[in-house]
Structures are given as structure tokens and as C-alpha cells.
Structure 1
Amino acid sequence: MGVAKSEHARSALFAHQPRTSSYDVIIIGGAMLGSSVAWFLSQNSDFNGSVLVIEKDASYSMCSTAHTNSCMRQQFSTELNIRISQFGADFVRNFQSYMGDDPDIPELAFQTFGYMYLADNQGFADILRANQKIQQTCGAGTKIMSPDAIAEAYPFYKLDDIILGSHNLVDEGYFDGHSLFDWWKRKARKNGVEYIENEVIGIDVEGEKVIGVRLASGEQISAGHIVNASGPRAVLTARMAGLNLPVEPRRRYSFIFDAETRLDRDLPLTIDPSGVHVRSDSVYYLAGCPPDHDTDVDYDDFAMDHDIWIDKAWPAIANRVPAFEAVKLINSWVGHYAYNKLDQNAIIGAHPERPNFMFINGFSGHGLQQSPAMGRAMSELLTYGEYRTLDLSPLGYERVMRNEPLLEKAVI
């Protein structure tokens, strides 16, 4: 992946030991979510504290950020998730402005050919209709399409079994997430955030508060707040503070392929009833899916199961788009979702019993598109002790303690 190579070239710029023995905020994990928090803090004029980001692997080659498909959508079933992604889309579209109109900052590529959810049964069709009404009240451009309307707009689909589709061409598709991540990291460091390549092996607790971390290199560092931005490894970080977190790594497979017969227009990110999704991707096409037996895996297990392509992904996309019966697989990889077993929604905010230990975890595949809103929110919590723009308290850890899921019906 390109991001892994570029980051590896810069990894030598990361020191291994911190400059001082005390920081106002220590962020454990320096990939997309950790760097979002770091950048939003660093540009907040009301925050005057010191920030240390501790990243286990500065090459970023095995993190979820390096294996992302950089998707963006508003087709969620809860208003909160819609609002979160709408800010993400606005941030991507106006990236230069949000980054202070720095002439070095590029525009981010944003391909907005939309998502297409396809329903082959009345139950899911009803869910898509209900979701569309919620999305519409939030200003999203989602439209419910009959099979005839879908066939007119996208004649390459096979639709014999489809009842309806849900499609949105406004701010949905995919974007250049790698550049977003890279510039957040660069600018955070330029603004004074310190990044080191090291590993947290312990978190010190005194009374109800966390007071610091211990590093693999031997240092003990004091902290005013600790932010758990450890991706799929978040549960390991939480356990060091004596806390539990229902987050585990789960494999997700991605495939880049070429087609002998190319489509005459962009293919929306199509969520097939089989669970496979497929979209246009630059000069090729991209497909993805979970395994049929979707369970947790080892943190370092990125082994590819090639039968997934032959037995699941290709048959599904060839059935839905007959032009894909003759394709050539170009590339494939495995990434990890930081999968929240409770409800597949993010967990953000302080732990009620450890008020200075902060979660930003469990995004279950939505982390990249939600990272602008999440970084902004965490910056507000750390600076003001409250959310100032979008209230994310329904995503707090309290629901984990109560075992009360915040149901999101549109999870891929």
C-alpha cells in the first residue's frame, strides 16, 4: 500500500524517547484517529497544553488506516451517524480551508458516485425506506429507486431479485484518506505535537485517575489525560488501565480487479444482498467483504484467504454485474476492523470511573469517514470538558456499562 511506503520513509523522523517526563495529553496510537485528535488539539487556540503521540509502529504498515478503502456515506440509520459523516464530507470538500488555507495543502480527491444499497426482501426494503426518511430530515440526498429506475440509470446491473435500491449522489463515494492522514500528522507536528515510535507497556493508576504510562524503552511519563486511540488493539490499552472494552480485530478482505468488458459509467459502491460490496476505483474496480465465519483474529494476522475471492466475492459481483464474469484480479489485501461487539458504533469520551482516561475506539469500519468529527469532539472534551459542536454523548462508554446498544441498522 502506498501509505505504508511513504510513512516508512518518514519513520526515521520519529524519535524513540520523549523529550520530557510529563505531558498534558498522551495519545496512545498515532494512526488516523490519534492524528485527528492531535491535529484538532494543536490548532485549537483555547488549548495550551502539551501533547505526546505514542505510535507502536511508525511505518504504519499494519494499522487499519493503511488498509482502508477510504469510503464516505450518509446512508446511516441514526441521525447522529449521519451528522458525523456530513461533517466528514464537508471537511474533505473544504480541506484547504480547514487547514488554514496553507498554499502547500492540496485539494483532496473525492469521488462522489454514491452508495447503492440493494434490497432483495421486503424486510430490508422497509429498513431502507425508514432510513431514507431519517437521512432526508438531515438534508442527505438519498433517493429510493425502483428496479426500473435503477436499470435506467445503471443498465449493467442484473436486478431480477431486487425490490428496490437506496442511492445518494451527494457527498458519498470515496476520498483520498491517506493524504488527509498524512497532512494531519505533518501539521500536528509542526504545531508542536510530539510523535514518538515506542510502545506503552503499562498505565499507572492512582485512585480514580490514570497518572501516566510506562514505555517499552523504560521511561515513565506523567499524563494529565490519556487518549486510547489504539485501533483494533484498543482493548489491550484499556486493560492496562484496569478497564474493559468490547473491541476486537476482525478481518475484512479487499480485492482490486480489472474487467474484460468495462462499464460505460461509474459503478456506485454497491452493497449486494450477499454481503459483498463493489465499486469503481480509479482505473480498476474494488470489491470487499467479511468472511462467512466472522470472528476475532490475532492482532498481527493479515493472512489472505484466497478462497474468499473465488467462492464468495467474484460469484456475487458477477451475478450482480454480468460484465464482471470475465475479470482479472490485480491485487488483494486484508485489513482489520476495530469491531465493537456491542453495537458496531464508535465509543468516545471519558470512562465514568476513570475521568481522565478517554476512549476513541470501536469504529467497526467507519473510522476514516468519522475521524474529522471525532477528532474535533475529542479536542473539545479535552479543552472545555464538554462537546461544543456536535453532542456525541450517546456514543459514550456508559452504554457499554449498561449493556445497552445504540442500534445502527446500516452497518457494512
Structure 2
Amino acid sequence: MSQAAQQVVIVGGGVMGSAIACFLAMHPRFGGKVTVVERDPTYAQASSALSASSIRQQFSAPVNIAISQYGIEFLRNIKQHLAVEGNVPDIGLTEKGYLYLATAAGAATLRENHATQRAMGVEVALLEPAALQQRFPWLQVDDLALASLGLKGEGWFDGYGLLMAFRHKARNLGVQYVKAEATGFAYSQGRVHAVTLEGGAQLPCDWAVNAAGAWAKPLLAGTGLDLPVHGRRRCVYAFTSPAKTPDCPLVIDTSGLWFRPEGDIWICGLPPPQDDNDAPLEVDYDLFDQAWLTLAHRVPGFEAVRLQRAWAGYYEYNTHDQNALLGPHPALPNLLLANGFSGHGLQQAPAVGRGLAEWIAEGAYTSLDLSPLSVQRLVEGRALLERNVI
């Protein structure tokens, strides 16, 4: 079949599915048709729209660092990538860094990660408590042994804005978005030949992509792959305080709580005491009481805070090793997976979108080797562990 005749159907029109569609439509060696199936074009429950939307270089796995290195350059130059007919997307990229805090028990991990990061050219500094206090005098450091601060290439942005930019660019390039509920993949003789929709209709395809986020697992029922991906609820809390935190980065406390400024307020979140897979997207307000205790300890000025609003979204959590599962299904080579990003999907969308587009158009990753994230590691029982999971 000629490249021009190829039909690609992507299930999931969030940032990942839209990024894959966009890069594929832009690829000079692809001349086929791309269809994106999205059940809810309002994105009311989409992780892309509900995320805190940040990007960092401070990973421990080299492939994740490389993905973010491309990602930050893409976001910085979004005008040249995703402008449509003179309309330039504004994603409000703010590069103020990530600040990882560690007690004595976690200091060795920070140092090991630092060595890996520096070897890959990441601009990151280790700070002893005295230097940390001098740089951020509003921070309580008495119980800390070390901190790691990203000096460049880390920060936050408008995740919904990035999703819309990819979607608008893709549609401008001829990608068709279909409002429908996908229920699975029809296959025979080791190849997918259609995406099945609710009601029984089918969209024929030569390539299919599962980019359904927290809803990816049931689509693979019957294919022989038990995808270890679940929707895990995470709550984000927006609060005000009379405190002042000049030059505040995104802070990762030793407890797992994170916080960062958002204009004149702050937002924060923390892992729940126990994760329930696929829990309803309802805000756990009791969890903010725990967050407040940690906030008040780490930033004494946060003793007085007022919760303004809160929302809940899903991490598409990979219980196997908390890293993305990318590339061909082990038994169906024309079914590509882009699943299990475990909270890193927005920042990884540019590199993954480009990579899977290359796989379809060229048969291999040609810009950045994403094979360490291959789904094959599930079959082989291997794990790619990331020490810096938030």
C-alpha cells in the first residue's frame, strides 16, 4: 500500500493524541489520512485540561531527560511549530525551575540523579541548607540535608493551551476529529484493521494508536496485553496567603507535597495516603488539611492560608514502573501505544508525538530513540524505574 493511501486512526484527542496527529500531518514522508477519535471535545475530564502543567529536566532516567530537553525547546519556540495562519498560541511558559528538597535519607539519591543530569548537560545545582536559606529566605531548611535546583529549562505553562494549539494545528493540516466513543480494536492475522466505536461502527485503518489516557486499558481487552495503566485521582488546591515567596520555583517537599506560585496565588498538591484506581473525579478536601500542615512547616508564612478553589484530574498511572509505555503492541505491530505517562504526559507530548509519527512514516525513531520506553519491557518483565516520580 502506498504511503499516500495509509489511514491512521488515533484514539484519544488529548494532548498526546493531538501531538501525534499534528506531527504526523507535518511529516514530509506521510501523505495519508489521520483521524482522531475523541469522546468529549470539551475535555471536561481530560488530564491535559486538569493538569498542573509543568516541565522539568530533573529525571533519573536518561531517556526522560532527553525527552524534556526537546520538550522545553519546543515550548520555547512554539510560535514556529504551532502557529496557524498568523495566530500564535500563548502557553504562558514560565521558567522558574524545580526545587527538590531532601533529608539525610534522600540526599544520596539527589546526588546520583545530579551526576546523571549533569552528564546530559542539564543546568542544575545542588544546594546545602545554608545556601538554600540564603537563596530562599522564606523557606524552612532546618530539617533538610540537600536540595536540587533546576537553573534553566524547567517551569510551568498552560497545559490546556498546549492541547488546543496541537489540536488547531492538526485540524489546519487536515486531521479529522470525530466525536465518538471508541470501544476497542478489531484485528485478524496479527494486524489491526479497524477501530470499533460504540454502537458497532468501525473506522478502517492501516495504523491505530491508543492514546486514550486514563481510559486506555479497557480498549485492549482481548488483545493479549493487560495494560497496567489506571486513572489515579490527583487533586490540585489553589490558595491565597499573606506570605511572600519571591523567585519561588516549583517546590517538591520531602513529604511528596508540591507547591508553586500561580500569579498572585499558589497551587499545591500531594499524593493521597492510599491510591484507588479509577476513583471518581471528586475533590478530596480533607487532603488539603494535611497539605496545610506541611505548607505551614515548610514556609512559615503559609500558616495563614485560605483555600480558593480546587479540582481533581487523573494521572494515567503505570503501576509497572511509572514510565511511559510507547510503541508497537507486542502482538499487533500496527497498533501503537502511548500510555502510562504517570503525570508526565504534557511535558513529554512534543517528543512522543514526533517519535510515534516517525515510527508510522519511517518505520523507526529517527530524531530521538524512545525504545527504552518500549511496551516490550512488560512482556520481558523488565522495569525502567524513575527515582524522581512526583
Q: Report the TM-score when normalising by structure 2.
A: 0.96
SS at match of 2:153: coil
Tell me what 1:288 maps to.
Answer: 269
Tell me what 2:241 maps to.
Answer: 259
- Could you tell me how far apart the structure 2 residues matched to 1:201 and 1:177 are? 27
Kindly state the Cα deviation for residue 204 of structure 1 after the two structures are TM-superposed. Answer: 1.1
Tell me what 1:307 maps to.
Answer: 286
Structure-2 change in CA distance of 1:102 and 1:125 (3 Å) = farther
Q: Is the 8 A contact 1:277 1:289 kept in 2?
A: yes
1:236-385 correspondence to structure 2 within 5 Å:
236-239=218-221, 241-263=223-245, 265-298=246-279, 301-310=280-289, 312-385=290-363
Q: 2:96 aligns with which of 113, 121, 141?
A: 113
- Could you tell me how far apart the structure 1 residues matched to 2:386 and 2:324 are? 11
Tell me what 2:202 maps to.
Answer: 220
Structure-2 change in CA distance of 1:239 and 1:143 (3 Å) = same
Q: 2:120 aligns with which of 128, 133, 138?
A: 138
- Could you tell me how far apart the structure 2 residues matched to 1:373 and 1:202 are? 26
SS at match of 2:205: strand
- Could you tell me how far apart the structure 1 residues matched to 2:153 and 2:58 are? 10
Tell me what 1:38 maps to.
Answer: 21
Structure-2 change in CA distance of 1:23 and 1:242 (3 Å) = farther
SS at match of 1:111: coil
Q: Is the 8 A contact 2:184 2:218 kept in 1?
A: no
Gaps of 5+ in 1: 1-21
Deviations 1:118-169 (A, max 9, x none): 11123x1011011111111111111000101110110001111100100012
SS at match of 2:255: coil
Structure-2 change in CA distance of 1:342 and 1:202 (3 Å) = closer
Q: Is the 8 A contact 1:343 1:405 kept in 2?
A: yes
Kindly state the Cα deviation for residue 295 of structure 1 after the two structures are TM-superposed. Answer: 3.0
Q: 1:190 aligns with which of 168, 172, 177?
A: 172
- Could you tell me how far apart the structure 2 residues matched to 1:201 and 1:100 are? 33
Q: What RMSD in Å do the two structures reach over aligned CA positions? A: 1.4
User: 2:209 aligned with 1:230, yes or no?
Assistant: no
- Could you tell me how far apart the structure 1 residues matched to 2:286 and 2:259 are? 17
- Could you tell me how far apart the structure 1 residues matched to 2:264 and 2:215 are? 34
Kindly state the Cα deviation for residue 240 of structure 1 after the two structures are TM-superposed. Answer: 5.3
Q: Is the 8 A contact 2:125 2:151 kept in 1?
A: no
Q: Report the TM-score when normalising by structure 1.
A: 0.91
Kindly state the Cα deviation for residue 23 of structure 1 after the two structures are TM-superposed. Answer: 6.3
- Could you tell me how far apart the structure 1 residues matched to 2:349 and 2:195 are? 25
Kindly state the Cα deviation for residue 100 of structure 1 after the two structures are TM-superposed. Answer: 6.1
- Could you tell me how far apart the structure 1 residues matched to 2:172 and 2:182 are? 24
- Could you tell me how far apart the structure 2 residues matched to 1:155 and 1:213 are? 56
SS at match of 1:304: coil
Q: Is the 8 A contact 1:224 1:356 kept in 2?
A: yes
Q: Is the 8 A contact 1:23 1:221 kept in 2?
A: no
- Could you tell me how far apart the structure 2 residues matched to 1:240 and 1:31 are? 25
- Could you tell me how far apart the structure 1 residues matched to 2:282 and 2:368 are? 39
User: 2:129 aligned with 1:147, yes or no?
Assistant: yes
Structure-2 change in CA distance of 1:379 and 1:211 (3 Å) = same
Letter in 1 for 2:282: A
Letter in 2 for 1:116: L
Tell me what 1:19 maps to.
Answer: none
Letter in 2 for 1:203: F
Q: Is the 8 A contact 1:246 1:341 kept in 2?
A: yes
Instruction: Give identity over the alignment, percent.
Output: 40
SS at match of 2:334: strand
SS at match of 1:110: coil
User: 2:155 aligned with 1:156, yes or no?
Assistant: no
- Could you tell me how far apart the structure 1 residues matched to 2:202 and 2:375 are? 27
Kindly state the Cα deviation for residue 175 of structure 1 after the two structures are TM-superposed. Answer: 1.3
Deviations 1:287-345 (A, max 9, x none): 111101123124xx1111111001x2111111000000001111111111000011100
Tell me what 1:9 maps to.
Answer: none
Letter in 2 for 1:244: D
Tell me what 1:64 maps to.
Answer: 47
Q: Is the 8 A contact 2:242 2:304 kept in 1?
A: yes
Kindly state the Cα deviation for residue 352 of structure 1 after the two structures are TM-superposed. Answer: 2.5
Deviations 1:355-385 (A, max 9, x none): 0111000000000000000000000001011
1:367-406 correspondence to structure 2 within 5 Å:
367-406=345-384
Gaps of 5+ in 2: none
SS at match of 1:338: strand
Q: Is the 8 A contact 1:96 1:102 kept in 2?
A: no
